[in-house]
């Protein structure tokens, strides 16, 4: 989405995560996508890739220019990595009801904080930091799109009071960059069954399992 938003030319190579090619294992130390190759540079980790693209292709900036606002953007990108994403995976992987309830509670707390301290406080909208869509929006989006998978497998729903979050999700879903890379709900449900039934042999499940 960052590449599309910034109009950067790129070639996309999809990886079969069940059978990772050797060349891919050599450049991806954790065996994870995405990996960016630019000139002779190999960059991993979505947030680091995004900031690299922002620095190398500054046209159409996706981070604010003012340092305090940049720090605020990075705070929410970190929130996504540390306080949101792990609970989505952990809730999905958890097989017993206690672990499911625990992770559902943590995820609810994260969503409420995003609603009240994020969209409710940091901007007058419609995007995370104001009128311009940016890296915070793009960092959160794919993960919030997966709530529908949690509805399906775990009966977990976005809290009703997350009105701003739902409106933001609707707005984001209208963007061409988002449409270009989004999967159908049925596809997401199919792809995530390996987490829901805890049968994944991949590195992400291995990282996110609590035992």
Q: Does 204 bind ligand GSH (CB under 6 A)?
A: yes
- What's the CA gap between 84 and 106, in Å, rounded? 8
Q: Does 203 bind ligand GSH (CB under 6 A)?
A: yes
Give the residue with the Cβ less far from ligand GSH, 33 or 169: 33
- What's the CA gap between 76 and 53, in Å, rounded? 18
Residues 6+ positions from 110 with CB-CB distance below 8 Å: 79, 83, 84, 87
SS3 state at 171: helix
Q: Does 209 bind ligand GSH (CB under 6 A)?
A: no
The single residue among 4, 33, 148, 169 that binds ligand GSH, judged by CB under 6 A, is 33
Give the residue with the Cβ less far from ligand GSH, 79 or 162: 79
Q: Does 86 bind ligand GSH (CB under 6 A)?
A: no
- What's the CA gap between 20 and 193, in Å, rounded? 19
CA atoms within a 13 Å half-sphere pointing along the CA-CB vector of 206: 6
The single residue among 1, 5, 6, 32 that binds ligand GSH, judged by CB under 6 A, is 32
Q: Does 46 bind ligand GSH (CB under 6 A)?
A: yes
Structure tokens at 19: 């059978």
Q: Does 188 bind ligand GSH (CB under 6 A)?
A: no
Q: Does 45 bind ligand GSH (CB under 6 A)?
A: yes
The single residue among 4, 8, 17, 171 that binds ligand GSH, judged by CB under 6 A, is 17
**Environment class of residue 12 by beta-carbon count within 10 Å: exposed (0-12), middle (13-18) or buried (19+)?**
exposed
Binding site for ligand GSH (CB under 6 A): 17, 31-34, 45-46, 202-204
């Amino acid at each position: 989405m960052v590449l599309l938003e910034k109009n950067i030319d790129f070639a996309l190579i999809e990886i079969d995560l069940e059978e990772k090619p050797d060349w891919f294992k050599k450049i991806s130390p954790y065996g994870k996508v995405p990996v960016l190759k630019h000139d002779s540079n190999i960059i991993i980790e979505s947030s680091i890739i995004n900031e690299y693209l922002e620095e190398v292709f500054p046209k159409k900036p996706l981070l604010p220019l003012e340092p305090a606002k940049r720090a605020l953007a990075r705070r929410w990108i970190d929130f996504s990595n540390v306080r949101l994403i792990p609970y989505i995976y952990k809730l999905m992987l958890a097989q017993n009801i206690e672990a499911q309830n625990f992770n559902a509670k943590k995820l609810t707390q994260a969503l409420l904080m995003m609603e009240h301290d994020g969209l409710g406080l940091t901007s007058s909208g419609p995007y995370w930091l104001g009128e311009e869509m940016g890296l915070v929006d793009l960092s959160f989006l794919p993960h919030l799109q997966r709530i529908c998978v949690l509805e399906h497998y775990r009966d977990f729903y976005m809290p009703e009071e997350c009105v701003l979050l739902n409106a933001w999700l609707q707005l984001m879903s209208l963007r061409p960059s988002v449409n270009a890379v989004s999967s159908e709900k049925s596809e997401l449900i199919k792809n995530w069954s390996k987490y829901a039934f805890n049968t994944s042999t991949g590195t992400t499940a291995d990282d996110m399992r609590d035992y």
